[in-house]
Structures are given as structure tokens and as C-alpha cells.
Amino acid sequence: MVTLVTDARRQVPSTDVVLADPRLADAQGRLGRTLVRDAVHRAQQQARDGKIGPAEVADAAVAELPALASTLTPVLNATGILLHTNLGRAPLSAAARDALATAAGCTDLEYDLATGQRGKRGAAMLAALARAVPEAQAVHVVNNNAAALVLAATALASGREIVVSRGELIEIGDGFRLPELLASTGAVIREVGTTNRTTVADYAEAIGPATGFVLKVHPSNYKITGFTASAPIAGLAGLDAPVIGDIGSGLLTAHPALPDEPDASTWLRDGAALVTASADKLLGGPQAGLLLGRADLVARLARHPLARALRVDKLTVAALEATLAGPRPPVQRALRASGLADRAQRVAGVLADRGLRAWPVPTQAAVGGGGAPGLPLASAAISVPAELAAPLRSGRQVRAGTHPAVVGRVSDGRLLLDLFAIDPDDDDVLAAAVLAAATPG
Ligand SMILES: *Cc1c(COP(=O)(O)O)cnc(C)c1O
């Protein structure tokens, strides 16, 4: 008599048997052995748990395969916050993405192909930056704005004083405080003025033989209003110390839509000796820190031993040059966008035609991520059922890589998918992702 094997464990096919499936063998070339084995192990566990039959293990393993060897998942930013720090700040232009892909291999990063000799690292990127800001005598690029400030403080104020207003001692986010960052270099923070009012005379009184430089920081993520005073760059430039201005957002020239946002050209024209900025905020490029200004100071920073520890990699060099020299990046395009209401109407129509309770709504978007605090930007969103929020973020289609994740915001029991930070070319991708998330299975 045959005994029925009731223990599902014994019926689960071995890892090697499952891996022999051509789809999984093929995936090993793309994803590597470890990730494919992990997927097989998860499928075997489903069989052990009795969720699937032994014959379904290979199919389940294929379904468990990650889309890429990196777990970073593409996201459509439907939050209405243009520069979302949690979503990696600025998305790169197509030109910058192409440049990244090219730079991923061996390139002439520090090599002159014409002569066969060593060349200057990132020379074309630096030239593109210099061309974009003619007011700067010289330019240098480091890992991020925090690195730019650390380099300036180390090279110009270690063991000396940085004079800064009490109204500009900012926390960037995630607990990182600029004064602590600067003090970590051995510089002494010399606070002047009060939280709400600081005048040129306050700075003048503090400047002396111990002064390394005066630091002017743009309060990029808060606003002090009411009885206030702050010293303009032009007022500080006349004092007996170099003025370093941290503009934060990386606008290289004044932007009509962002009247209160400082830009590098204006601050340099007003007399700043150096301006520092992020490249992945309003400039719309990769993470990097820009240093622009007086040739002697830039040379001192670039030659300082610490500069080597803060230098950018070839991917950043490529993406930043393409951002500066190429077509307008998505962040800059979004700031000029019109027709948002029409786009929301059209996408909502596509969804409603498929039976979804979806309609367009007017919204207020924001720059976010360290730029133009409090400035509302007229925008439009598609309102869809709030139950879609979770599947849009991490549903089956997202895990399989067939759709990007979509992050919106829930308001009054509805999920709002704001189009401000979405490229118009991605409207159909957004609609398809919503329809997929609304489809059970
Ligand atoms: C964002 C910001 C920083 C930090 O820049 P990172 O590029 O993230 O290092 C510093 N200062 C200001 C004013 C900022 O807005």
C-alpha cells in the first residue's frame, strides 16, 4: 500500500532543481547568483508553508526576482514637493542620465586623448560651471554643500573665528546643524546679533585679527518674519574680512518665479568672496557642492589636503557637466510649467474612463528641500481613492519593476497625485501605474 506523503517539506524541489529552470538560469547572468538563489529560497518557503504547490516553485521564484541588482526603486514624485529630500532631491535630465551611463565605464576623466598625457580631472565640468557664472573668477566642486562649507572652514578659519548671525545658525535636516559642522573643523563660531535682528554694525564689531571669514547663510528652510533685520551681502562686503555666502539652493542666476531666493551671480556681484551651494536642489543636477568666487581663495581650497577627501566621482563630473551644458533639467522645467490643470484633467479622465473614482483638483505645491520656504506654487493634482496609496508605493507591479512607485499625499481621505514635480512625459506612466495598482491580483 502506498502511504501519502503529507509533509509538504519533502515535496519541495531542491534549489538546484529550481535553478535549472531556463528563466532562472538566465536571470543569474543579469542579477548574479546570490539574488536569484534568495528568490528561490523565498519561493521554497512559500511551498513549505503550503501557500503554493511543489510544481509552482519555479514560477514563484521568477515572480520573486528583483528587477535590478540594486534595491533603489524608481519613484514618481507626486507629492507636490519639487525637491523631496527623501526621494533623492533633483531628478536628472535625460542628457545627464546619458552622461552618467557613458561615464560608468572607463573614460578620459583625467586623461588627454590627443596627447596621451595626464589631463585635468573634470576640466570640462569646471569650464561649464565657470561659463554659467561669469562673475566667479574661479570654481571648484566637492561632494555637497556641507563639504564645501567644511573645506572653506578648514582652509580659511581653522583655529580662527567664523562670524555668523544668530538668525542664520541653521539645521539642514536629519539633525545636521551647520554651526556644529563648522565647529568640527576647529573653527570658532562667533555669533553676532539676535535671532530676529542682525545689522552690519554687529558684524563689524566682531571682526578682528582672529576672524577667518564672515559667513552669510540663506535661511533656506524657514522664514523669520515680523520685527526683523538682516545684513545684505553688499553691506558686509565693505568689512575687513572675506564674506562667504551659503545660498543653499544652487540658483546660479536670479529666477523670476522665486523672487526671495538668492543666486550665486548676484551675491558675487554684491561682493561675496566665495559662494557655496548644492547642485541637487534648484540647479537640478547631481549631488555636489559648488564653490565659486575669488581665484586666490578657490585655489587655496582646491589645493588643501582635505579637498582630495571631498572630491566628486566621475559619475558626478559627467552628470554635472551635462546639467550645466545641456538642456534645462526637470526641476527648472517644472518651475516654468504651465497647463498643469489641463494635464490633471486629462489623466483623471483616463482613469475615470476605466471606472476609477478620479477627478482633478487645484493644489499648492512647494519647492521644498531647502528652497523658497513658504512660497506657494499653483499646481494641480488627480484625486484618487486613498486605498491606492499603499499599492502605488510598494505593490506587486512596483516590486516586479513593471511600474515605478508613486508617492502622493493623503488629504481629507483622498490620495492627491500632484503633477508639479512630474515630467509631462510621465503623465501616461502615472496613469498606467494607478490603473495597475487599482487592478486586483
Ligand atoms: C541644503 C543646504 C545645505 C546643505 O547642502 P547639502 O548639499 O545637502 O550638503 C547647506 N546650507 C543651506 C543654506 C542649504 O539650504
Question: Do 153 and 263 fall into the same domain?
Answer: yes
Question: Do 276 and 407 fall into the same domain?
Answer: no
Domain holding 59, by residue range, is 8-64
Characterise 88 by phi-psi region: left (phi > 0), alpha (psi -120 to 50), beta (else): left
pLDDT in tens, the chain (441 residues): 444 445 555 689 999 999 999 999 999 999 999 999 999 999 999 999 999 999 999 999 999 998 889 989 999 999 999 999 999 999 999 999 999 999 999 999 999 999 999 999 999 999 999 999 999 999 999 999 999 999 999 999 999 999 999 999 998 888 889 999 999 999 999 999 999 999 999 999 999 999 999 999 998 888 888 989 999 999 999 999 999 999 999 999 999 989 989 999 999 999 999 999 999 999 999 999 999 999 999 999 999 999 999 999 999 999 999 999 999 999 999 999 899 999 999 999 999 999 999 999 999 999 987 677 888 899 999 999 999 999 999 988 888 889 999 999 999 999 999 999 999 999 999 999 999 999 976
Best of 141, 143, 220, 244 to mutate for ligand 1, by most ligand atoms within 8 A of CB? 220
Which of 303, 328, 353 lies at the terminal end of a domain, its last residue? 328
Amino acid 219 reads P
Question: Do 218 and 338 fall into the same domain?
Answer: no
Cα 186 to chain centroid distance, Å, stands at 29
Question: Do 126 and 240 fall into the same domain?
Answer: yes
SS3 of residue 201 by DSSP = helix
Question: Do 225 and 250 fall into the same domain?
Answer: yes
In this structure, is residue 125 part of a structural domain?
A: yes
Cβ proximity of 392 and 375 under 8 Å: no
CA of 262 to the centre of ligand 1 (A): 13
Q: Is 217 in the pocket of ligand 1 (CB under 6 A)?
A: yes
Selection from 291, 12, 358 nearest residue 152 by Cα:
291
Q: How many domains does the chain have?
A: 3
Best of 246, 260, 287 to mutate for ligand 1, by most ligand atoms within 8 A of CB? 246
Ligand 1 atom nearest to 281, measured from its CA = 1
In this structure, is residue 2 part of a structural domain?
A: no
User: Distance between CA atoms of 205 and 241, rounded to whole angstroms?
Assistant: 12
Best of 85, 143, 169, 172 to mutate for ligand 1, by most ligand atoms within 8 A of CB? 172
Global pTM? 0.93
Task: Residue 397: count other Cβ atoms within 10 Å of its Cβ.
Answer: 19
Ligand 1 atom nearest to 144, measured from its CA = 7
Dihedral (Cα; 172, 177, 179, 182), 10-degree rounding: -90
Cβ proximity of 178 and 217 under 8 Å: yes
In this structure, is residue 69 part of a structural domain?
A: no
SS3 of residue 120 by DSSP = coil
Cβ proximity of 1 and 43 under 8 Å: no
Cβ proximity of 148 and 276 under 8 Å: yes
Kindly write down the DSSP assignment for every residue of 365-428, as one continuous string: EB--SSSSTT--EEEEEEEEEGGGHHHHHH-HHHHTTSS-EEE-EEETTEEEEE-TTS-GGGHH
Question: Do 288 and 343 fall into the same domain?
Answer: no
Question: Do 342 and 297 fall into the same domain?
Answer: no
